[in-house]
A and B are shown apart, each in its own frame.
Chain A
Amino acid sequence: MICSESLFGDQKNMEQRDIIELSSRKRDEKIMRAGRDYVVGIDTGGTFTDGVLLDYYSRDVINSCKTLTTREDLSIGIIKALTGLNIENPSRIRLVGISSTLATNSIAENRVMETALLLVGYDRELIETYHLEAKFPTKNIAYFAGGHTSQGEEKEALDIAGICQWVETNRNKVDALAISSYFSPLNPSHEEEVFAAIQGICSLPVVLGHQLSTKIDSISRATTACLNASLVAVMQGFIQAVQTALEKEKISAPLMIVKGDGSLMPYDVATAKPVETILSGPAASAIGGRFLSGNDSAVVVDVGGTTTDIALIENGQMTISTGGTRVGNVQTAVKAARIRTACIGCDSRISFDKGKTVKVGPDRVVPLCRLAALFPSVEKQISALPDKHVLDWLPTDIEYWFLYKDVDCSSHFGTDTRHAELFDLLRQGPLSVTHILKHMKVNHIVQLNAAALIEKRLIERAYLTPTDLLHVIGHMNQWNAKVARIALQRACEMHDRNPETFAQETLSHIVHRMAEEVMTFLARQQEGQNLPEEIDDKWGRWFINEMLTDGNPYLSVSTASRFPVIGIGAPAGYFVRRLARCLNAPFVLPKSAAVANAVGAVAGSVCMDEEARIFLKEIDNSERFVVQIDGRPPQSFEEKDDAKRYAQKIVSDMAKEAAIVAGVISPQVAVQESVDGSVLRLVARALGNPSLGPSV
């Protein structure tokens, strides 16, 4: 496997190898001064790895760096980002925070450990009747007797012998074990007994359901535990690599990892609960936006290449999604920030639909202007297009393909020689699809059978994107504006459109789409409304359209966001500014908006939750309120208030203690109560800023 750098390293023009680098390193570098607290934040996103060096208290970004994410080994990209920050005095770094897509990507790409799921007291018949096994992320499932009832009483005796026997037989076939027992949030004793019993038999990582989730849903607990177990080793490896990298850079500050809700956790907690890092990327962006702008309540709109992520910060806290988070096809019980992701970004493909409508996204491509900036051959080819006879023009003239990651085709595709041929062709450099089709002697793109290659990101495509349009209208001038202009001209002539108005209209269309997403997101925050994901009926659509475009000559409709809008991401200055205007909201563009995600990786608070569950249990014709707190023996009370008082005291102390251990100096503790069917939950949350490591 060749990583992208070597691919582009093969190109003749070495200076342009970092094709996707958005910004060159800052020239007006600030200097690290004595007596200040500096921290480093790193965000490993799907495409880029960003790093920032930050003055923690002044919130000044001293230096930032954007490099390509190295998917095969994230730590390589991280080391590059660290190096890129040019930290002159590593001993002055007091904290390092990392937000990582490691967990998300590992699940998506199925690069996880083989995990067995041991289900204790689950009703196999019921699971099969309702096809629930499809929800589990593994096929390795074993059922055992045991589990508890809805009152936390033992349902049947635990088949400890059966479990031990199974583990002995299968321990070499799997890499990790997840154990989940029925109603373990109300009584985790069976999970704990199994854990104790198999410690002596095998050394595999073992994850217990109730430790990952106390949700009353045996399926999602098992799923979450299973995912977590499959990620433990992966996360361990990653953190070790990061630690090695930090050592190499002579940074000895504490290491924190961002959770899906945007808060920070110590790296050892992350090792035990890697699944909690799911969706930490978008959360970090929002946290970064808040930190840089100083707005404690705001909508954060992060315009990325592929997607636009919308999050809400209220009183300094991210709003959390009430259901569990979904990763790919797997529904987990992980609490993550409530993020609305719209499949529209500055690298979204602009396609001409039938009629005069234009579609933006959901595919992400490389902007033609960026491709041309890297490959002079592309500029040459596109510049030659106007010479071609009008009748010979083809839509495929402006779609370019190029190799993103070279592989040995014979080992990858077996007998399909066409793929090898395509790879050979593209090794010459980017080519227009017209050219490819002609060379491969086929008439249509479909015949290339290349969908899988694109999906695996071996081949990348370049086409007209919003980035190109921003170059045409003069808002950006980072890459090859001339190529963008010619390509746009070409496309417009082919579809009988005026390029000037087309660019403006399309950009407006994008702003409106984003604004609609923000509007839907904000409207749906209101509880109890159960508004659908999309605006559905004709009137609803009309209202939204009029609010955004204000085009009706008879009636003006306007809306106003109650929150300011913070723009994050490189093109935020254009899109989010206009979006905010549509929503009549103040617009905030923080300094260093382009690297807010990396700032967010270190700017979050540390947050430790401890939960008590109180439920009614009938014991010998009388009723008792049982308090279940993990790591404590259950206590029962005659009076609900006594149970609550006890629970409140214990969880508050536990959360505070945990926060102090995690490095918070004086955590604030608040207890929240919620009803979950027959269970009353008391959650103590201890919150505070991480204590910065000692200045050396």
Chain B
Amino acid sequence: MSNILGKMAEAIIEGDADSIKDMAQKAVDEGISIQDIMDKGLLAGMDVVGQRFKVGDMFIPEVLSSADTMKNAMEIIRPLMTEGESTNAGKLLILTVKGDLHDIGKNLVGMMFEGAGFEVIDMGIDISVEDTVNAVKEHKPNLVALSALLTTTMPKMPETINALKEAGIRDQVKLLVGGAPVTRAWAEEIGADGYASNAAAAVDMGKELLSAA
């Protein structure tokens, strides 16, 4: 049993998106618990990826291959998860705020979260405050990540925070903000829960926020 899990972890690290589905299916067929497949296989692999990235051994495109591999595996695993199991990573709602058409940073963050086993709902770019609140209502995420790349669109972040406060659901989600002009100090001032300077840090911060909650 540990053999297939080890291979899965390796496939994640290698970014072998093609064969991971078969492996996942095989692991399921062998009767290995979803928890073990996640913890000892997929997430164990992603942990290594995260570590290597941090020390500069892996680069973003490789991490994304791993994330993509993870996503493929999750297509097999997620439908088999029970309520309790699926919450162990979390659900992320991510978007670029209204007036801002920047996509790449947000995509990167989204993919990294997917790689960490999160369910990611990517609303896209140019998303209004109202639509954001409605999406929170619809999807009930436990993390919301807002991206802004322009100083002119940054004010949409606190406005979104206020819209969640007004709706009375600010405490139902943890809020991450990011983007080139965003600073930690500003994130604190506007009352976000977390700020991350890059995609990998965002995932770490997201995990930290959820584990503290």
Contacts and interface: CB of A to CB of B under 8 A. Distances in A.
Interface of A: 123, 125-127, 129-130, 132, 135, 149-151, 182-183, 216-220, 616, 675-679
Given A149-B130, A218-B166, A218-B168, 5 more contacts: A129-B140, A130-B169, A216-B165, A675-B158, A678-B159
A125 B159 contact: no
25 contacts: A126-B133, A127-B168, A129-B137, A129-B140, A130-B168, A130-B169, A135-B168, A149-B130, A150-B160, A150-B163, A150-B166, A216-B162, A216-B165, A217-B166, A217-B170, A218-B167, A219-B168, A616-B159, A675-B190, A676-B162, A677-B162, A678-B158, A678-B161, A678-B162, A679-B158
Interface in B125-158: 129-130, 133, 137, 140, 155, 158
Contacts of B172: 130
Report which residue of B137, B160, B167, B190 has the largest number of chain A beta carbons within 10 angstroms of its beta carbon. B167
Contacts of A129: 137, 140
Contacts of B129: 149-150
A676 B192 CA distance: 11
B159 to A, nearest CB: 4
A123 B130 CA distance: 11
B191 interface: yes
Contact of B191 (A149, A218, A616, A677): A677
Given A150-B129, A676-B162, A126 B167 contact: yes
Interface of B: 129-130, 133, 137, 140, 155, 158-163, 165-170, 172, 189-191
Report which residue of A216, A616, A679 has the largest number of chain B beta carbons within 10 angstroms of its beta carbon. A216
Report which residue of B166, B167, B169 has the largest number of chain A beta carbons within 10 angstroms of its beta carbon. B166
Nearest to A528: B188
B193 to A, nearest CB: 11
B110 to A, nearest CB: 24
Contacts of B163: 150
Contacts of A135: 168
A656 to B, nearest CB: 29
Given A151-B159, A677-B191, A678-B155, A183 B166 contact: yes
Nearest to B140: A129
A205 B159 CA distance: 34
B136 to A, nearest CB: 8
Contact of A677 (B137, B168, B190): B190
Nearest to B161: A677
B189 A675 contact: yes
A677 B159 contact: yes
Contact of B168 (A183, A217, A678): A217
A9 to B, nearest CB: 51
A402 to B, nearest CB: 45
A627 to B, nearest CB: 16
Contact of A126 (B137, B162, B165): B137
B34 to A, nearest CB: 27
Nearest to A223: B168
Nearest to A675: B189
Given A123-B137, A125-B137, A675-B190, A150 B159 contact: yes
A217 B168 CA distance: 5
A460 to B, nearest CB: 39
B30 to A, nearest CB: 39
Contacts of A218: 166-168
A123 B164 CA distance: 12
Contact of B169 (A126, A151, A679): A126
A218 B169 CA distance: 10
A675 B189 CA distance: 7
A427 to B, nearest CB: 50
B155 A616 contact: yes
B140 A216 contact: no
A144 B208 CA distance: 40
A149 B132 CA distance: 13
Given A129-B140, A149-B130, A679 B168 contact: no
Contacts of B191: 676-677
A182 B166 contact: yes
A127 to B, nearest CB: 7
Nearest to B168: A219
Q: A-B pairs with the 5 shortest C-beta distances?
A: A219-B168, A677-B162, A678-B158, A677-B158, A678-B159
Contact of B165 (A132, A149, A677): A677
Contacts of A219: 167-168
Contacts of A123: 133, 137, 167
A182 B162 CA distance: 12
B165 A217 contact: yes
Contacts of A127: 168
Nearest to A130: B169
Nearest to B192: A677
A540 to B, nearest CB: 17
Nearest to B190: A677
Contacts of B137: 123, 125-126, 129-130
Nearest to A220: B168
A178 to B, nearest CB: 16
Nearest to B189: A675
Given A123-B137, A126-B133, A216 B166 contact: yes
B128 to A, nearest CB: 9
A675 B165 CA distance: 14
Report which residue of B129, B155, B165 has the largest number of chain A beta carbons within 10 angstroms of its beta carbon. B165
Nearest to B163: A150
Nearest to B165: A216
Contacts of B166: 150, 182-183, 216-218
A150 B167 CA distance: 10
Nearest to B191: A677
Contacts of B161: 677-678
Nearest to B160: A150
Nearest to A679: B162
Contacts of B159: 150-151, 616, 677-678
Nearest to A530: B212
A677 B129 CA distance: 13
A678 B158 CA distance: 5
Report which residue of A126, A149, A216, A678 has the largest number of chain B beta carbons within 10 angstroms of its beta carbon. A678
Contacts of A182: 166
Contacts of B168: 127, 130, 132, 135, 217-220
A561 B137 CA distance: 46
A173 B120 CA distance: 48
Contacts of B167: 123, 126, 218-219
Report which residue of A125, A130, A183 has the largest number of chain B beta carbons within 10 angstroms of its beta carbon. A130
A216 B133 CA distance: 14
A408 B160 CA distance: 57
A144 B161 CA distance: 24
Contacts of A149: 129-130
Contacts of B158: 675, 677-679
Contacts of A676: 162, 191
A183 B160 CA distance: 13
A678 B169 contact: no
A183 B163 CA distance: 9
A616 B190 CA distance: 14
Contacts of A151: 159
Report which residue of B133, B161, B163 has the largest number of chain A beta carbons within 10 angstroms of its beta carbon. B163
A219 B190 CA distance: 20
B182 to A, nearest CB: 14
Nearest to A674: B189
A678 B191 CA distance: 10
Nearest to B167: A126
A616 B154 CA distance: 12
A678 B162 CA distance: 7
B74 to A, nearest CB: 25
Report which residue of A183, A217, A679 has the largest number of chain B beta carbons within 10 angstroms of its beta carbon. A217
B83 to A, nearest CB: 17
A150 B155 CA distance: 12
Contacts of A677: 158-159, 161-162, 165, 190-191
Contacts of B189: 675
